[in-house]
Every structure is written in C-alpha cells, then in structure tokens.
Amino acid sequence: MKDVVKKDGHVITIEPTTGSRHYLPSKELDDAFGLLFEAQIIKCIRRQKALGTAESKNPYNYCYPRFFEEIGLSDIHCYGISSVFTLSDSRFDFDNRKRWLELRCTLFQKKRDNITEILLSAGKQFDEINRAYNVVIEYLERLKSMSKEELGHVHEQEIYHRVITIGRKS
C-alpha cells in the first residue's frame, strides 16, 4: 500500500468486523445461527495462530492501525461505523429485499460443507450442525416465499459494524 501511494497521499481501509449481530424472531433460529457462526470464530482463531498473531482475549484482533505504523504511515486515525438492515423496513424495495434473501440463501448453502468441516473438527456433532442448518434454511426459504405484507411483519435485523482506518504517507 505504501509503495503505490504518493507523498502526502492517504491509505484507507474499510474492514467489516465479524462481530456483526442478527436479531432473529425466535430462540431456535438464534441458537442455530449462533452455532453456525462459531465456525467463523474458529476460522479466525486458526488464521491468527498460523500468522502468529493470536491473542487470547480477542480472536478478531487484526489491527490495521498497528499495521499502518509498521509500514511507516503517519497521522493514523480509526473510526467505527454501524449500519442496520431490517427486513420489515418498507423503505427498501420489496424486489431488492427478495433478491437479497435469494443471495443470502445461496451463499449460506455454498458455505455449508466448509462450515460443517470446521465445526466437526472443533468437536461439534454432525446431527447438531445438520439440525442448525435445516432450521436456518427452512427459515430463509420461508422468507423467500413471503408476500410484501408478510415480509413487513418479520422483524429480523442485521447490524453490521465496520472499522475505517486512515493513514497518511509522509
């Protein structure tokens, strides 16, 4: 990054955090998503151990501000932003929400083998993982088939957090 930025130019990263949160309409769904989300945590911890950067307190601790310092950037600033998406929010186009649900379901199913493998290697039981997947997929399929009015009563929220880091090349 430092090599391609001109003197007094800036490097900006926007990093999604894996700590984004779903608020789901049932405990069963929340538990199923929670179990499957554990794979991301395990994957993150493994990646950091392989890089030698694992810290026991925070498995997500990859630090762009520290990285920016290491490569010689200055005037480093870090900001956090959050955004909320609610399925029932009628300000969003119904067709766009349906396309988003279709994509969400497709991506979720594409990750199934990888997530299952990670969770099995961490000692989770296949039946437990399969049950969680079935709960989530059934929910997503139900959402995809809902009418505009029905979807307007689904109060699922996703809260996404991002970290923005800015550094200047002196």
Interval 13-30: pLDDT, tens: 887 765 556 677 788 988
Backbone phi and psi for residue 49, each to the nearest 5 degrees, phi listed first? -65, -40
Query: Distance between CA 156 and CA 49 in Å, rounded?
Result: 34
Global pTM value: 0.67
Residue ranges of E strands in 87-120: none
Whole-number pLDDT of residue 62: 56
Boundaries of domain holding 87: 2-168
- The residues pairing with 74 across neighbouring beta strands, listed in sequence order, are 168
Q: For residue 86, what is the enclosing H or E element?
A: strand 74-86
pLDDT tens for residues 60-83? 455 788 888 888 899 999 888 887
Query: Distance between CA 161 and CA 4 in Å, rounded?
Result: 28
Structural domain count, the chain: 1
